[in-house]
Amino acid sequence: MNFLRVILWSIIIYLIINTARNVIRFLSSAKTAVNPNVINKKKKTKYRIESEDVIDAHFEEIDKSKSDNQKENV
């Protein structure tokens, strides 16, 4: 019976701590969202990728019936 009490108390304490963490996270995120003077800066990365370096690609679906016919002709 004592072991059951220990398990129940540990579950209750875990839930209380977890709830307190979630409340603190919620309140801290609400404080940062309220401040309009904060400017979001771009994160610095080690890569220098410019818009000219980005290539748009177009993909076509492979038609299985055509590829099978080409194999038979060879």
Cα–Cα distance between 74 and 67 in angstroms, integer?
11
The CA-CA-CA angle for residues 27, 23, 10, to 5°, reads 160
pLDDT score recorded for residue 9: 96
Cα–Cα distance between 61 and 67 in angstroms, integer?
12
48-66 residue pLDDT tens: 777 777 787 888 887 777 6
8-64 residue pLDDT tens: 999 999 999 999 999 999 888 766 655 556 566 667 777 777 777 778 788 888 777
